[in-house]
Copies of this chain bind each other. A is one copy, B any other.
């Protein structure tokens, strides 16, 4: 089984060309799309979506991901083998968040042209390198047959939540298609900070005064906070888009502080 994530969009022929190459090598392969609507060149977004989905697939699944602004350049092409999965794609940080949760066994740089298409374009390694390698890997070719083992792989740097003046400060990391604002503040960090004391969550000019459990709990047009299904603090509005109501965007700051220490004026817009 192969999962498939790219920033190619679904309008063009790119995704289908890659699937054709895989299926020409292994017609019995099952290919499941994770997303092809990653914003063009947005490695961080691709890494986030992959990290949220990959672990629900069966052991042995090959996770093929191509968000590849450096295609044709000096970045390596890698195959990472973990205890449970394979990760295949450009070495540009796309696997950062998934590999944080995995036990990496070894990493191979793809160099064995025997498993590539015979002509390799400088612009579409997805089709010419990654797709055929995915196909052969699904047939049982051993990872080390695709190239030499290497000792490291690229990670993207990203803003982690931090404590500032007694506040836990994070940011909007992803906005889903419902308009939910998913932060970089994990459930664990949140509860270690809050110790289940009373607190306030601030985003922009909005203050949210407690954590709800589910989307339907808020009032109409009232932003609420909850721990979402991916384990991150999330800002949401009942039956509506928090993104639109709060005019929020990726990177917007989210601050959490104890209620007692609060001097902010509550503003409803």
Q: How large is the interface on A (under 10, 10 to 19, 20 to 34, 35 or more residues)?
A: 35 or more
Closest to A4 in B: B16
Closest to A177 in B: B9
Instruction: Say yes or no for A53: interface residue by CB 8 A criterion.
Output: yes
Instruction: Say yes or no for A136: interface residue by CB 8 A criterion.
Output: no
Q: Given the known A-B contacts A20-B32, A41-B239, are A216 and B70 also in contact in the complex, defined by CB atoms under 8 Å?
A: yes
Instruction: Say yes or no for A213: interface residue by CB 8 A criterion.
Output: yes
Residues of B contacting A56 with CB < 8 Å? 16-18, 20-21, 24, 127
Residues of B contacting A71 with CB < 8 Å? 214-216
Surface stretch bound by B, among A118-126, A154-162, A163-171: A118-126
Residues of B contacting A214 with CB < 8 Å? 71-73, 122-123
Tell me the smallest distance from the CB of A35 to a CB of chain B, in Å: 6
Residues of B contacting A213 with CB < 8 Å? 72, 122
Kindly supply a per-residue 1/0 record for chain A positions 202-218, scoring 1 wherever the CB is within 8 Å of any chain B CB and 0 otherwise.
00000000000111100
Instruction: Say yes or no for A52: interface residue by CB 8 A criterion.
Output: yes
Measured between alpha carbons, how far is A109 from B221 in the docked complex, in Å? 32
Please determine whether B27 and A11 come into contact, CB atoms closer than 8 angstroms: no
Which A residues between 1 and 37 are near B, CB-CB below 8 angstroms? Answer: 1, 3, 7-14, 16-21, 23-24, 27, 30-37
Please determine whether B16 and A229 come into contact, CB atoms closer than 8 angstroms: no
Tell me the smallest distance from the CB of A42 to a CB of chain B, in Å: 10
Please determine whether A23 and B13 come into contact, CB atoms closer than 8 angstroms: no
Copies per assembly: 3
Please determine whether B10 and A37 come into contact, CB atoms closer than 8 angstroms: yes
Measured between alpha carbons, how far is A1 from B177 in the docked complex, in Å? 27
Give 16 A-B pairs besides A12-B176, A16-B32, A24-B58 with Cβ atoms closer than 8 angstroms: A1-B23, A8-B177, A11-B176, A14-B176, A16-B33, A16-B53, A20-B53, A21-B56, A23-B57, A41-B239, A69-B216, A71-B216, A72-B215, A121-B228, A122-B214, A127-B229
Interface residues, chain A, CB within 8 Å of chain B?
1, 3, 7-14, 16-21, 23-24, 27, 30-38, 40-41, 49-50, 52-58, 61, 69-73, 121-124, 127-128, 176-179, 213-216, 226, 228-230, 234, 239, 241
